[in-house]
Structure 1
Amino acid sequence: MEQKKKNWLLTALIYFVILAAYNLIVFMVFKGFNAVFWISYICMMAAFVLHILCVYFIVQNVSIRTVFFGIPLMSLSIYFVCAELFCSFVFMIFKASVSVKLAILIQALLLCVFIITAVLSIMARDAVQNVDTKIKDNVNFIKGIHVDVEMLIQRSQDADTTRALKKLSETVKYSDPMSNPAVYAQERMIMQYMMELGNAFNSGNMEETREVCEKIELLFIERNKELMISK
């Protein structure tokens, strides 16, 4: 936590120095401030603030995937700041001969282009994250069942039951980790039968345990076929 706070402070210091240097250059170089100058200055400050907000938005979630998909947004904000910096300096230099409307129009267009592309970048990142979350949930579903079956194998004292459980374990292990609405019914039944499997095993009814193993295995086979057809 202390290191994170230190990094935030150092980052804030860097941006403060950049902002101070920009203001120092602008107010030392340019004289005779008019409406075009102040419009350009305000637009540049707004671009700088938007860039800082983008940085803050990206680093809030420090997972590798989030940071990776935050790179386009960071690049866009940097390009936007550079473009606005160039435009603002041009308008400041020619402030006496440039109309206020032109200064507003060009810099407003820059802002609009950045906002649109930034929103599209965020939407793309969120879409990828949603897919990633679904994949993790599906993988956890398969892993959870596989772990439960393996635990029963470790506890099994009956050779026939152990073979049935190992066969089921192999079926679960190599099942498709993806899922879709076409197999939700099978997955619900699998979860119900997994509860029955545990109850039968714990009660010592090995014959019922083997029967439930076969039912679960058939459901997994049916599920995998449905997934292949729906792809």
Structure 2
Amino acid sequence: MNISKNKGLSLVIVFIILAVYNIIAFMLPFNHGRMFWTGYFFSMVAILLTAGVGFYAFRREVLRSKVYGCTLLSLVWCYLIAQLIIGVLEMILSDVPFQYGIVLNTILFGACTIGLIATDIAKVEIERIDLKVKEKIFHNKSLQTDIENLITKAPDEITKKMLKNLAESIRYSDPMSSPQLAAIENKIESKVAGLTDAIAIYDSSIIKSSCDELQQLIAERNGKCKTMK
């Protein structure tokens, strides 16, 4: 398994924290009672969780994933620092009933876990939407390219101007899509195919009507996109 530089550094930092914390825990004269082991156990859980989140956060190279990965790391590191401090205090305050330590540490762990899950759910959903937008942008770009290719085949300047205007309309059309727009998007694709055939045989009346209808369909689609937002 390949380990990236960020993963390697995260692992080194976690091992350093693990070593230093264990030295503090077992070299200082703490009373190794139930409260000590409560603080020690939850501190070890926090360290291991930080290591796991570090590996998970750096598993993708997509910029948006990196941004959410940093959010996950920020959250888990805040939890780690808080838990280590609380863990040391629990080792010192060994006379306090250990049940209080369990409750406090469990609440802190639960809050961190919920935050991590909520952040990851948000990341997955954002990535899903982003993928749909990229797919739709590619679709619109493909249509725009098809129209621009037709410009070079246009027999006169009037036709070229109509095609340039049509390409601009597609270029600046709303990139978002949904199942409710499938029918009108299919019509647009069909009209583009018909326009291609009309230019091939140079039927000026069909070329003009196809361009006009495509402009209307694109405007209609953009209007429906606005109503769905």
- The aligned runs of 1:59-70 (5 Å cut-off) are 59-70=58-69
User: How far apart are residue 32 of structure 1 and its match?
Assistant: 4.2
Change (3 A) 1:7 1:223: closer
CA RMSD, aligned part only? 2.5
Change (3 A) 1:49 1:147: same
Percent identity of the aligned residues?
A: 29
The alignment status of 1:212 with 2:216, answered yes or no, reads: no
- Equivalent AA in structure 1 for residue 162 of structure 2: A
User: How far apart are residue 119 of structure 1 and its match?
Assistant: 1.5
Counterpart of 1:189 in structure 2 is 187
Describe the superposition over 1:193-230 as per-residue Cα deviations: whole angstroms up to 9, x where unpaired. Answer: 233333444x4344444443333222112212323444
Does structure 2 conserve the Cα–Cα contact (< 8 Å) formed by 1:161 and 1:206? no
Counterpart of 2:112 in structure 1 is 114
Counterpart CA distance in 1 for 2:228 and 2:100 is 55
Give SS of 1:155's match.
Answer: coil
User: How far apart are residue 38 of structure 1 and its match?
Assistant: 1.9
Counterpart CA distance in 1 for 2:165 and 2:4 is 52
Counterpart CA distance in 1 for 2:193 and 2:59 is 40
Does structure 2 conserve the Cα–Cα contact (< 8 Å) formed by 1:182 and 1:230? no
Give SS of 1:83's match.
Answer: helix
Does structure 2 conserve the Cα–Cα contact (< 8 Å) formed by 1:171 and 1:217? yes
Counterpart CA distance in 1 for 2:36 and 2:225 is 62
User: How far apart are residue 6 of structure 1 and its match?
Assistant: 4.6
Counterpart CA distance in 2 for 1:20 and 1:110 is 23
Q: Which runs of 5+ in 1 are unaligned?
A: none
Change (3 A) 1:105 1:189: same
Counterpart of 1:151 in structure 2 is 149
Change (3 A) 1:109 1:229: closer
Counterpart CA distance in 2 for 1:67 and 1:7 is 11
Counterpart of 2:88 in structure 1 is 89
User: How far apart are residue 19 of structure 1 and its match?
Assistant: 1.4
Counterpart CA distance in 2 for 1:6 and 1:112 is 30
Change (3 A) 1:54 1:7: closer
Counterpart of 1:104 in structure 2 is 102
Change (3 A) 1:165 1:229: same
Counterpart CA distance in 1 for 2:4 and 2:173 is 45
Counterpart CA distance in 1 for 2:5 and 2:71 is 26
- TM-score w.r.t. the length of structure 2 is 0.85
**How many residue pairs are counted as aligned between the two chains?**
228
Counterpart CA distance in 2 for 1:23 and 1:182 is 60
Change (3 A) 1:210 1:30: farther
- TM-score w.r.t. the length of structure 1 is 0.85
Counterpart CA distance in 2 for 1:225 and 1:31 is 70
Q: Alignment partner for residue 176 of structure 2, among 175, 178, 181?
A: 178
Q: Which runs of 5+ in 2 are unaligned?
A: none
User: How far apart are residue 54 of structure 1 and its match?
Assistant: 1.6
Describe the superposition over 1:114-142 as per-residue Cα deviations: whole angstroms up to 9, x where unpaired. Answer: 11122222222233333323332332222
Does structure 2 conserve the Cα–Cα contact (< 8 Å) formed by 1:200 and 1:209? yes
Give SS of 1:61's match.
Answer: coil
Give SS of 1:62's match.
Answer: coil
Give SS of 2:201's match.
Answer: coil
